[in-house]
């Protein structure tokens, strides 16, 4: 299959591109490197050093004998999107290319509007370009479990049957997202569903949980192929952040009481889920939703798992929750559709935790402890990003 991976320079896009390439697909990657730009803005860096995209692609060809074509440009530029689709002629597009940090979207007005314009306009440009060129192209779009929020009832996979005043219908599951970033994903989902309805496009919305881990079968083939690993207070996902804190002897910082429960998955399962979605495309005009996570844990449980797996002494500290969210709540979300397609999950056990801790340990000299604390406050309309030197940075 000819597959374009948008956001192919990012944490998940790059390993996904390699995985699909190794599985025999013809793969192109698209990125504008804005993720690297956020690091410059915040004065932080990926814990694991990452090669630039051109070198990654060259090394992949040397190591595997397989070519991955790189396209550099911005999805909010519709001419660029159209040109790439014309040049590459994909049968499927996997769309990872969005601003993906909730705290980043909550810094201030400028970061909120940037996030929503980048994500919503980029996706709209893509929908138009696909509809005008080849509506048969399968769009696999990364959404998030955070779109649903934490309702006091079971979360279904995208849709819920509702009986109201004696009439029954299957409707999109109600969304109560927790940040302007998560809201951008909700807006995307609505736009994609609408495009499927009016233009007969076919799309899979992958409502993904929080991803952990850094190594995949392909990224470990050469240091140039490594993917990024974020641990800072703005982009670091929770389990990766706890592993860094354990290794550098920093208390594991649990926000509030730590009862916030989230769906989680191993980075290797992200690759497997995307491939399963690609191999089993929806029908023409179909918009389907898969909840892409394998287990759920509370933040407190995750801290305890890391503390138990780390051989040294680890302390857990509860800090004021910078977010506006329920610190204890009901959480039960369906996630059977990918399992039905054949997903065999990598569950979070001591071996996986030890392998993440080993990655962190190899790069412990690169940790900037000043980057870990949360700096973005949900209750404020404006937060100041502090650099590691302690100077305010705007």
Ligand X SMILES: NC(=O)c1ccc[n+]([C@@H]2O[C@H](COP(=O)([O-])OP(=O)(O)OC[C@H]3O[C@@H](n4cnc5c(N)ncnc54)[C@H](O)[C@@H]3O)[C@@H](O)[C@H]2O)c1
Q: What positions carry a catalytic annotation?
A: 144, 181, 185
Q: Is 237 in the site for ligand X (CB under 6 A)?
A: yes
Minimal distance in Å, beta carbon 98 to ligand X? 4
* Contacts of residue 337, Cβ cutoff 8 Å, sequence gap at least 6: 157, 288, 290, 291
Give the Cα separation of 394 and 384 in Å (integer).
Answer: 6
Site for ligand X in 22-51 (CB under 6 A): 31-35
Question: According to DSSP H, which parts of 137-233 are helical?
Answer: 180-199
Which DSSP letter does residue 209 get?
A: -
Token pair listed for 197: 């309805």
Nearer to ligand X, 104 or 310 (CB): 104
Nearer to ligand X, 142 or 244 (CB): 142
Size of the site for ligand X (CB under 6 A): 27
Interaction mask 115-154, ligand X, x per CB under 6 A: ---x---x-------------------x-x----------
**CB contact at 8 A, 378 and 323:** yes
Q: Is 239 in the site for ligand X (CB under 6 A)?
A: no
Interaction mask 72-111, ligand X, x per CB under 6 A: --xxx-------------------xxxxx-----------
Q: Of these, 3, 4, 11, 233, which contacts ligand X (CB under 6 A)?
A: 11
Give the Cα separation of 187 and 45 in Å (integer).
Answer: 30
Residue appearing with tokens 């014309």: 86
Site for ligand X in 200-229 (CB under 6 A): 208, 210-211
Name the E strands within the chain: 2-6, 26-31, 68-72, 92-95, 138-144, 159-164, 167-172, 202-208, 210-212, 252-255, 261-266, 287-292, 295-298, 316-319, 385-386, 392-393
Q: Is 272 in the site for ligand X (CB under 6 A)?
A: no
Nearer to ligand X, 60 or 164 (CB): 60
Which residues contact ligand X (rule: CB under 6 A)? 7, 9-13, 31-35, 74-76, 96-100, 118, 122, 142, 144, 208, 210-211, 237
């Amino acid at each position: 299959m000819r597959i374009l991976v948008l956001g192919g320079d990012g944490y998940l896009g790059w390993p996904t591109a390699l995985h699909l390439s190794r599985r025999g697909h013809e793969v192109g990657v698209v990125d504008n490197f804005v993720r690297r730009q956020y690091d410059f803005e915040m004065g932080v860096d990926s814990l694991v050093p990452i090669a630039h995209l051109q070198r990654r692609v060259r090394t992949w060809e040397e190591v595997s004998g397989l070519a991955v074509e790189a396209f550099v440009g911005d999805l909010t530029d519709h001419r660029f999107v159209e040109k790439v689709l014309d040049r590459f002629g994909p049968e499927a597009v996997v769309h990872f290319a969005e601003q993906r940090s909730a705290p980043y979207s909550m810094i201030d007005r400028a970061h909120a509007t940037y996030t929503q314009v980048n994500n919503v306009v980029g996706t709209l440009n893509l929908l138009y370009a696909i509809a005008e060129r080849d509506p048969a192209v399968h769009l696999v779009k990364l959404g998030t479990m955070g779109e649903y929020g934490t309702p006091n009832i079971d979360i279904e996979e995208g849709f819920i049957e509702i009986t109201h005043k004696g009439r029954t219908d299957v409707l999109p599951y109600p969304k109560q997202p927790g940040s302007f970033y998560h809201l951008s994903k909700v807006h995307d989902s609505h736009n994609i569903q609408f495009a499927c309805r009016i233009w007969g496009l076919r799309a899979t919305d992958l409502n993904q949980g929080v991803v952990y881990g850094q190594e995949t079968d392909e990224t470990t083939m050469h240091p140039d192929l490594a993917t990024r690993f974020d641990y800072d207070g703005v982009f670091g996902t929770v389990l990766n952040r706890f592993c860094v804190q354990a290794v550098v002897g920093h208390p594991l910082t649990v926000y509030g009481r730590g009862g916030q429960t989230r769906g989680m998955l191993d980075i290797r399962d992200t690759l497997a889920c995307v491939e399963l979605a690609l191999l089993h495309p929806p029908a023409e005009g179909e918009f389907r939703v898969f909840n892409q996570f394998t287990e759920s844990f509370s933040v407190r449980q995750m801290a305890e798992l890391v503390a138990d797996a780390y051989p040294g002494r680890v302390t857990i500290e509860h800090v004021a929750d910078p977010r506006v969210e329920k610190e204890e709540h009901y959480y039960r979300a369906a996630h059977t559709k990918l399992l039905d397609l054949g997903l065999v999950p990598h569950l979070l056990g001591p071996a996986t935790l030890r392998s993440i801790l080993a990655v962190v340990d190899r790069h412990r000299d690169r940790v900037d402890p000043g980057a870990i604390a949360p700096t973005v406050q949900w209750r404020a309309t404006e937060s100041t990003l502090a650099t590691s030197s302690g100077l305010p940075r705007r």
